[in-house]
Amino acid sequence: MQYGFVKVCAATPEISVADVEFNTKQIIKAIKESAENGSQLTVFPELCVCGYTCGDLFNQTALISACENALKEICESTRGLKTLVFVGAPIEVRGKLYNCAVAIHSGKILGVIPKTYLPNYGEFYEKRHFSPAPEKTGTVTIGDIDGVPFGSKLIFKAENCPEFTVAAEICEDLWAPQSPSISHANAGANIIVNLSCSGETVGKAEYRRNLVKMQSAKLVSGYIYCDAGDGESTTDTVFAGHNIIAENGCVLSESKLFENGLIYGEIDVEMLAAERRRVSSGYFKNGGEAEDYSIIKFDTDKSECNLTRKFSKTPFVPSDGLSERSELILTIQQKGLEKRLKHIKSKTAVIGVSGGLDSALALLVTCRAFKALGNSLKDIIAVTMPCFGTTEKTKNNSLKLIESLVVTAKTVPISDSVLQHFKDIGQDENKHDTTYENAQARMRTLVLMDIANQTNGLVIGTGDLSELALGWATYNGDHMSMYGVNCSVPKTLVKHLIDFEAERLGGECGKVLKDILNTEISPELLPPTKDGKIAQKTEDLVGPYILHDFFLYYAVRYGFKPSKVQYLAEHAFEGVYDAQTIKKWLINFYKRFFSQQFKRSCMPDGVKVGSVSLSPRGDWRMPSDAEVKLWLDDI
């Protein structure tokens, strides 16, 4: 177990109704298989020891006694295994029969959790045989084992991994308005297991999947739903073995219907614990009903988990529904700008267009806002400001884009102004240092601000989230604007949004946008090469944006330690970047992220579009003089 990943298993073995001996062998076989595959938590279906569909056979002493003996045999089979196992069995307690989840670990029964809500409609008639869970936790004797904790409020906690905490509910409990898992999560359970036997009907699988996803999201938890399958009686219903492993609203693994077997997933309990700490409502912070719970300790295997789950190289970019998501993001940007334009009664919008990605996106968003407001696109003043580093390609693409969008073009060469400024401050124009570069950026901002004053306009910022994270902006240069439409859009997402707009708009505009997408990212503040190509390539200087966006997502969104961010990056970028390259740019990311906070502390307004934003007003409040040592030491 490394970096909080717990390998879990949902196991649906073939069973035979009321054939406890056969079922026991199948369960033991599955336990051993899951343990061999590294599972630290294995869950079986509801009443799997005897079969859920036994009907009035549950009233037979022979069946109850056989199940009791089976539990001892299953328990014995787990000796030496570090896998926490939940199996379903009927348990008699003081003259009442309960539908239970039995927790077993390393040769010991740790606890018994009875079902709280008993369905009694349609094909279900559990109240005919079972009693609901008692309100208070007590103990039960199973065979010759005394003092086994018994009740619905049990949490199983790994002593050597305190974030690995598990609680159980059974089938109908999930469907109930006040599911036991709600109080389980509030009391500290990061993983919920559900032992189920859910008959299959048309449309039920989709409903079940959505229910599990939403419960895991609502509770910020892992959720393992293990369903009965082939072998249950088909007198009235068939059972599909629909197993689902979910984490915080995402399905990690899911079985095919009507295929018994084992599915696996890795649940990140470290992430879940961090996410709960972050939740502002405090729901998970006050301990809730924890005082009513019994905490039962166990040991887990802490060796490295063989990580099989995939991590996207571009976590900010949706893996599906890209068109719908792109349209939504652009609309959010547009609506933010619309409100600002209306509020200050701005007549024009002034934007510097460089022929690069960010200014292209900002211009596209501004056009959308003007169209929505019914304003003339001619009141968008797109300014090109060629200087020492401007190439013909970027200059021409700027002009083509402006022309294709039918906005007002204005060209203001700034070379002479910058050279005069160099003379005024005593800067050698042949010394290509930071002053040489930043003087150009600040001159461009001065031009834009003054044109906005001339035209009663608003300067639209073009800088994106990735640049804010790295501080890759000239303070009071491109760092400053009157409204930043791209401020929470990372570079990897900028590319997809432009590609989306290129396809949507088509024609000459689409062509030039495609060409902009294929242009190397550069601030163009140093003179071009002798053959007129871009000499200053951003990603050669600060590192690949695809890596930095990955770092940013996991460092800020989840607060992971740098070593975990590196571990995930090595996993996601295997075969693309080696470990040393990832480490090099990760160190650079943290150094820049900490040293450049002062630029974010006074960043202009701009709308949030995703789960990560660095606005000092809405999301990220960090002292500008915080030390990075702790984070570098972890790397």
d(CA 113, CA 115): 7
Output the CA torsion sign for 18, 242, 14, 100.
negative
Do 402 and 382 contact (CB within 8 A), yes or no? yes
338 is a catalytic site residue: no
Catalytic residue among 50, 67, 161, 171: 171
Whose tokens are 């390539």? That residue is 537
46 is a catalytic site residue: yes
524 is a catalytic site residue: no
d(CA 635, CA 179): 42
Q: Please list, in sequence order, all residues whose beta carbon lies within 8 angstroms of the beta carbon of residue 610, skipping any fewer than 6 positions away.
A: 316, 329, 488, 489, 493
DSSP string, 240-305: ----EEEETTEEEEEPPTT--EEEEEEEEHHHHHHHHHH-TT-TTTS-TTGGGPEEEEE----SPP
Catalytic residue among 7, 9, 46, 226: 46
Angle at 426 between CA 424 and CA 429, to 5 degrees: 100
Q: What are φ and ψ of residue 546, in 5° steps?
A: -65, -35
> From its phi and psi, is residue 184 left (phi > 0), alpha (psi between -120 and 50) or beta?
alpha
Angle at 126 between CA 122 and CA 130, to 5 degrees: 170
End-to-end CA distance of the chain: 19
d(CA 398, CA 512): 9
Contacts of the segment 618-624: beta carbons below 8 A, 24+ positions apart: 620/556, 622/597, 623/597, 624/597, 624/598
For residue 163, which of 246, 40, 342 has the smallest C-alpha distance?
40
Catalytic residue among 7, 82, 115, 564: 115
Do 131 and 98 contact (CB within 8 A), yes or no? yes
User: Would you name the residues annotated as active-site residues?
Assistant: 46, 115, 171
